[in-house]
Structure formats: C-alpha cells, structure tokens
Chain A
Amino acid sequence: MPAHLSIKEIADSQAQLRRKKLVLFAFTLPLLLFVMLAFVAPIATMLYRSVYHPTVAQLIPQTLKQMQGWETQPDTLPDSDSLVTFALELKSLAGERRSGKLAEEINRVFPGASSLIKSTARKLKHLDEQEIIASQGTILLDSHKKWHNPALWHAIASAGEVWTSRYYLTALDLQLSPEGAIESRDTRIYLKLYWKSLRIALLITLLTAVLAFPLSYFLANASSAKANTLLVFVLLPFWTSLLVRTTSWIALLQTNGVVNSTLKVLGIIDQPLELLYTEFATVISMTHILLPFMVLPLYSVMKNIDPSYFRAALSLGAKPLPAFAKIYFPMTLPGLSAGALLVFIISIGYYITPALVGGTDGQMISNIIAFHMQSSNNWELAAALGSLLLVLILALYWLYDRMVGVNNIKLG
C-alpha cells in the first residue's frame, strides 16, 4: 500500500477486497454445497460404513452383554447363562426370520458358522422357552459339536463389536486370532487383486504411452490442416460411448469374432484363439479406450516444442538418437507425465470393461468391490476395499495436482 493512504482508506480497500472475496465465494457456494451433499457425503458414508457395523449388536444384545468379562479367557466356553440367553435370542430371531442375518454375519468372522446357526435356529424355533432355560444351555451344546469350540464364541463376541477394524484387516488379507493378535489369513485374495490392478494399470499406461508417442509426434509435426483432420480419429473414439467401445471389442475378440475369423481365413490358425474373457481382453480394450487421454496432452505439449532445438543439436554434430533422447524427449515429459498419471488413475479403478470382457482372469479390484456390493452383500467389506482404493487414488490425484495442476486439465 502506498504510504500516503490514510488508515481509513486502507481499511476501506481491505473491506472492499473482503467483500469481493465474499461475492466470489458466493458464486461458488451453491455448487460447493451441491457437491458436498451429492458426492462428498456419500463417500463419507462409505468410509463410516467400513468401520461402524452395529448389526450383530442389535440382533443379540443380551448375549453380548452377558458375555462381557468372559472374553479374556481364550480356552473356555461362556457360562451357562450366556448360552441360555443366546439360545433364547436365536429362537426369537428365527421366529422373526432374522436368524439368517445373524448366521451371515457370524459366518464372515467364522467361516462355516452359517449352516450351524441356521440349522440350530430351525431346531430351536420349535422348542419351548422353558425347556431351553431348564436345559442350562445343554440343548444348544448337544445340537452340534461345533458349539463346543471356544473360537466360535470368540467370533460371536468379535462380530458383536460395533466399531471394528475387521473389514480393513480382511481387505488386507489379515485377521485377528482369538488371542487378539493380527495374523495373515489362510486364503490371500485381496492383496493379490490390488497388485494385479496396479500391474494391469501400469501395463495399460505403458502401452498407451508407447502407442501415443509416435502418433502425437507425427500429428505435432504435420501441417495444421492435416493434423486437424487426423485428430478427428483420436477425438471420435474419445467421444464414443464406453459401452459402444466395449461392445466393439466383444465383437472383435469373440470365439467366432472378427479377429479369429480373419486369422482363420488367412490360414494363420486352425482353432480359434481364446481371446475374450481373458486378462488380454481387459488390457487391450482398456488401452484402446484410454489412448486418447494420453494422445491429447502429449500432442498439445509436442506442438509447442520448438523443433529448432533438436535441429540445432543435430547440426552441432549430435547423433539423431542420443539427441532425441537428451534434447527432445525431456521436453515432452510434462505431457507424458500428465497423460500417464491420468491414464493410470482412470484405469486402476475401472469397472465396466473388465466386468464385460475380463472373464475370471481379467478382473480388477473394482470388480471385487462390485461383487461384494451386489452378489455377496458384504457391504462393509466393499466399503473397506473401496476406502483403500480411494486413498490410493487421492494420493495419485494429489501428485497430479502437484505436477500438472488440476486447473490444467484439458478436454478434447
């Protein structure tokens, strides 16, 4: 501020700036609120669901209350009062057709418990309450030998915890032992899938880069009329529906599809190759779908590289290949990294294309999230797997913002 302004004038101009900022913020506010409610809040709900799970605590509240205190003894069964309470609660759940829910929940902590609880519930349903009380829990223990296993009861107690890290442990192929130590699970699925998704995403990123580089170079150095015409071939796929492009790949890769019948006619193969429903199908169709995201930023960077640098190096006696590697290539890095990050971010969370062309081999982490949302109805595990994926994506997004700047995303 110039010195000759009075304090009042300074205060006025500051107030004006503040007002201006407020007006600008007011412009943005409706959308900010909208995005918060329509988008951020749902994602927060998902995070919440991955750790908060009161279902079992609501199904068998009395049993859980009575079992408190017993939990510290790993090798004993709960006392007979707890057993009776559990039998009574299970009986009443069976009457309300909710015992299936309990069975499902316990089964997630103790695989195999589902059939035990369901068949026991069916027996208890027809028994008299007094009879159950009088038996002091032996009715329950006699119904199946598995009820004698303390680990099962620990699993019930553990499933009853309202706040839990269990789903994150499962999502990382870990579990809690009855003694409360973290150990790895027998079957490892999810870490393998994360690695596989990373590997496929990386492969797709590499493939798009390799394909996009010569094309972008060619376009950047062609006359602008020619470049604009050829650019249509990049933009048309970009604007074409994802489902259309996936459909095309199904038509191409099927057993009797275009690729196989062409190869057959040419006499290259006798038996059709198995192309569709494989990891190969996922990779090639996603490379096709994401290629424009690599070409466009690379092209716009290359277009602005002054070819005289490269020529100068050559005229100074540098060999073409080293000159290209040392002079030209580094100048394309901003475009390459922007494209690579974008392709990587998009491909790692891809769902639709792997679901349609990937078969069993070509599935990625998103597909198992969808599986737990839609087929196994293990929403909490889906939420935990999704949260881990989200953390990964946000880290990449942050990196992208650092390196490229979110303001610099260009479309088309």
Chain B
Amino acid sequence: MKTRVSSTLLVASLFSATTLFSAATHADSLTAVSFGGAYGATQQKHMLDPFMEATGHEILFENYSGGIAELKAQVESGNILWDVIDVEVIDLERACSEGLLEPFPMDTLPPGDDGTPAMEDFSEEALANECGVGNIVWTVLFAYNNDTIGSGKPMTVADLFDTEMFPGKRALRKRPQVNMEWALLADGVAKDEVYALLETDEGQQRALDKLASIKDDIIWFDSWSQAPQLLNDGGAVMVQSANGRIFDAIQSEGKPFEMVWDGHLYDLDVWAVVKGTKKKALAEEFIRFATGSKPLSGMPDIAYGPTRQSSYAYVDPEIIPKLPSSHLDEGLKASGVFWADYGESLGEKFNEWLLE
C-alpha cells in the first residue's frame, strides 16, 4: 500500500517534471535586461507594458548593473540567458566589436508618428553603431544632498575631489569609466584633451593618482539604482549618478538633492539584441516597438531625452530645460571608441589599484 503510494507520487512528480522542463523553453517569452530603479520603472511603463498589451508576448524584465561582463560570459559559454539588452554607448562599441551583439537591421525601423522616415527622425548618434538603436540621451553627473553638504555648495568637478572644502564620503560607481575622465578634469585638463591624455601611461597614472587623493573618502557602488539611496541615507554627501535618478528623487519623492552639471559625461543608451539568442526575431520586433515615437516620448518622465525628433511632439515643453540636451556646453561626450580600446586594460589597472 505504502509502496504504491510512493510509486504513484514518483510517477506524478516525473510527469510534472517533464511538463516543467518543456515549459522552461516557452517560445513567446522574451528576457529583456536593463538598469532597474526609476529608469527600469519608466521603461516598464512606456515600453514593456504597451508591447505586452499590443502583442500578447510575455517579457521577463531583469536588472543588471551595466558593463559587458555578464553578456560576455553568456556568449562565450554559449549559455544565452538574455534576449534584449539596454547598453550604455560607453560599452556598446566594445560589445559590438567583440561579437557579443547581433547587428540590427536599421532599415526595418518604422517611420516616426509624423511620417518622417526613421533614418532622418533618429539623431545621427542614435544609429551610429550597427548593433544598437538609440533609446535615450542621458548623462552622468554628480549630485549633493542639501541637508548634509554643509555651508558651501559644490559647483565643479574639482569640488568633488576637494575633501577639505567639502568633507564627507563621495559615492562613485566602481569602474574606470567616467571616474578617470573626471579625475583629469578635476586635475585641470581641458575637456577636449581628456581622452588623448588617457591614451598615454602618464595620463592614466595621473588620473589614478588624482583618484587616490580621495580614495579613503570614496564609497564604491555597483549599480545606478544605489546612487540616490546612498545620497539619501547611505552616508554619502555627494554621489555620482545618472541624471534621471536624481531628477526622479527630487521630483517624485521631494528629496533635497541638487545636481551639478559641470563636467557631466553625456551618453546614449541603446537597445540591442544579444548574439546567439533563440528569439532574435521577437527581440527585433520589441526594439522596433520600444524605439517608436510614442514609447520614447515617455522617457522625459525622468529627464532623459528621446533619440528621435518626432517624440518631442508628445513631450511637455517645461521638461526640456532639464534634459541633458540643454546642458551640452557644460559637459563632455563619453567616448565609446576610447573605452572599446582601453576598457580592458584600464579595467584591469583600475581593479588592481582598488585592491592596493
């Protein structure tokens, strides 16, 4: 009797096991990966939800903290877990030239809602790389908390490195990108010389030395979504952040944060298809949808600029001065080509420097 019960149980579980494993390779679900937090929520609202509603496909929305490592691990081991990915242009050139992304058929992009053909509607940079379709224009800047900064107000990148005038912890994202550029800017290097100087050993050392001067006051974080949190209750008085997350914290939570535009490093984010995915067609379909005029026009909710002109018809004009595109003079364009060439060796140098 008992044996029969257990063998029935066994058969039942084997049966459910087979259904389970076949369900695991469900054909119509897509795994999309982006940066989470306020940005992820905005994409969910304006891109993923409308897409799921319009097409009936499921999307599993995952967070990652940027960089190409996870993507590379998947492609090199042949264990592809992601289908569509939101990539910073600072990493895009490298990911694309190393064969981690599928080239995107740009000629299949639909025209804007006002009828402008895609090629004219998108900004030139948005389609500059063959692997990705521009999604937002955003920027990395630093922000401070009015409640904790003390009497003075930081105005420049140099102030971020000035621990005497502005004592307290600075939170920076743990990677060489942006930090190396800022270190040189703070050290007095002109904006248009930064990347040329970073190509030399001396320039690299100079940047690391500048960072070393405040090393004890740095809190390193991994993911953009941690930035506003560190400024709020994480013990940092200044934090490096994507502008949208600070904007969102000020706008929707009323936080006493202040953004500093000096030396901001503006960049694009693109949607791209992961090399070797089994759902390439569906992934491309999603990108065509997500970069349409209407979905892109939702991005200014958190002060990120749409990459196509036709989207601006839907955008509240009051938000325009708060977009990175209104502050280009104060900033520097992040160089994807530089980081494609130097991301590897500087990454290694930077990590050894961290462990020193």
Q: Which of B12-20, B22-30, B65-73, B303-311 contacts A (4 or more CB under 8 A)?
A: B65-73
Q: For the complex, is B61 an interface residue (Cβ under 8 Å from A)?
A: no
Residues of chain A within 8 A (CB-CB) of B330 are none
Contact residue among B70, B99, B199 (Cβ-Cβ distance under 8 Å from A115):
B199
Residue pair A96, B356 in contact (C-beta under 8 Å) = no
Residues of chain A within 8 A (CB-CB) of B73 are 373-374, 377
How far, in Å, is B274 (CB) from chain A's closest CB? 14
Q: Known contacts A118-B340, A360-B220; is A97 also within 8 Å of B98 by CB?
A: yes
Q: For the complex, is A277 an interface residue (Cβ under 8 Å from B)?
A: yes
Measured as residues with beta carbon below 8 angstroms from the partner, the interface class of chain A is 35 or more
Q: For the complex, is B347 an interface residue (Cβ under 8 Å from A)?
A: yes
Residues of chain B within 8 A (CB-CB) of A375 are 67, 69
Residue pair A119, B344 in contact (C-beta under 8 Å) = no
Contact residue among B67, B341, B355 (Cβ-Cβ distance under 8 Å from A118):
B341
Residue pair B69, A377 in contact (C-beta under 8 Å) = yes
Residue pair B67, A107 in contact (C-beta under 8 Å) = no
Q: For the complex, is A113 an interface residue (Cβ under 8 Å from B)?
A: yes
Residues of chain B within 8 A (CB-CB) of A274 are 235
Residue pair A256, B344 in contact (C-beta under 8 Å) = no
Residue pair A360, B354 in contact (C-beta under 8 Å) = yes
Question: What 1/0 flags go to A277-289 for Cβ under 8 Å of B?
Answer: 1000000000000
Tally of chain B residues near chain A (CB < 8 A): 31
Q: For the complex, is B94 an interface residue (Cβ under 8 Å from A)?
A: yes
Q: Known contacts A107-B344, A114-B344; is A187 also within 8 Å of B352 by CB?
A: yes
Contact residue among B72, B201, B349 (Cβ-Cβ distance under 8 Å from A377):
B72
Residues of chain B within 8 A (CB-CB) of A360 are 220, 354
Residues of chain B within 8 A (CB-CB) of A118 are 97, 340-341, 344
How far, in Å, is A366 (CB) from chain B's closest CB? 15
Q: For the complex, is A326 an interface residue (Cβ under 8 Å from B)?
A: no
Q: For the complex, is B234 an interface residue (Cβ under 8 Å from A)?
A: yes
Residue pair B352, A189 in contact (C-beta under 8 Å) = yes
Q: For the complex, is A98 an interface residue (Cβ under 8 Å from B)?
A: yes
Question: What 1/0 flags go to A162-191 for Cβ under 8 Å of B?
Answer: 000000000000000000000000010100
Residue pair B347, A376 in contact (C-beta under 8 Å) = yes
Total contacts A-B at CB 8 Å = 73
Q: For the complex, is A255 an interface residue (Cβ under 8 Å from B)?
A: yes
Q: How far is the CA of A107 from the CA of B349 in the complex (A)?
A: 11
Residues of chain A within 8 A (CB-CB) of B354 are 360
Q: Known contacts A97-B98, A98-B99, A376-B69; is A111 also within 8 Å of B348 by CB?
A: yes
Q: How far is the CA of A374 from the CA of B352 in the complex (A)?
A: 16
Residues of chain A within 8 A (CB-CB) of B201 are 112
Q: For the complex, is A208 an interface residue (Cβ under 8 Å from B)?
A: no
Residues of chain B within 8 A (CB-CB) of A96 are 99
Q: For the complex, is A104 an interface residue (Cβ under 8 Å from B)?
A: yes
Q: Which residue of A lies closest to B68 (CB)?
A: A377
Q: How far is the CA of A100 from the CA of B92 in the complex (A)?
A: 13
Contact residue among A98, A115, A193 (Cβ-Cβ distance under 8 Å from B344):
A115
How far, in Å, is B218 (CB) from chain A's closest CB? 9
Q: How far is the CA of A11 from the CA of B22 in the complex (A)?
A: 54
Residues 86-118 of B at the A interface (beta carbon under 8 Å): 94, 96-99
Q: Known contacts A118-B340, A255-B233; is A111 also within 8 Å of B347 by CB?
A: no
Residue pair B98, A111 in contact (C-beta under 8 Å) = no
Residue pair B94, A100 in contact (C-beta under 8 Å) = yes
Question: What 1/0 flags go to B327-356 for Cβ under 8 Å of A?
Answer: 000000000000011101101110110111
Q: How far is the CA of A114 from the CA of B342 in the complex (A)?
A: 7
Q: How far is the CA of A98 from the CA of B69 in the complex (A)?
A: 16
Q: For the complex, is A387 an interface residue (Cβ under 8 Å from B)?
A: no
Residues of chain B within 8 A (CB-CB) of A371 are 351
Q: How far is the CA of A277 from the CA of B199 in the complex (A)?
A: 33
Residue pair A187, B341 in contact (C-beta under 8 Å) = no
How far, in Å, is B145 (CB) from chain A's closest CB? 12
Q: Which residue of A lies closest to B351 (CB)?
A: A376
Residues of chain A within 8 A (CB-CB) of B344 are 103-104, 107, 114-115, 118
Residues of chain B within 8 A (CB-CB) of A255 are 233-235
Question: What 1/0 flags go to B224-253 for Cβ under 8 Å of A?
Answer: 000000000111000000000000000000
Residues 363-381 of A at the B interface (beta carbon under 8 Å): 371, 373-377
Residues 110-137 of A at the B interface (beta carbon under 8 Å): 111-115, 118-119, 122
Known pairs A112-B345, A122-B97, A373-B73; list 13 more (Cβ under 8 Å): A98-B98, A100-B94, A101-B98, A111-B349, A114-B342, A118-B344, A255-B233, A272-B235, A371-B351, A375-B69, A376-B347, A376-B348, A377-B72
23 interchain pairs, CB-CB under 8 A: A97-B96, A99-B97, A100-B97, A100-B98, A111-B348, A112-B345, A114-B342, A114-B345, A115-B341, A115-B345, A118-B340, A119-B341, A187-B352, A192-B355, A254-B234, A255-B233, A359-B219, A360-B354, A374-B69, A375-B69, A376-B69, A377-B69, A377-B73
Identify the 3 closest CB pairs spanning chains A and B, nearest first: A100-B98, A97-B99, A255-B235
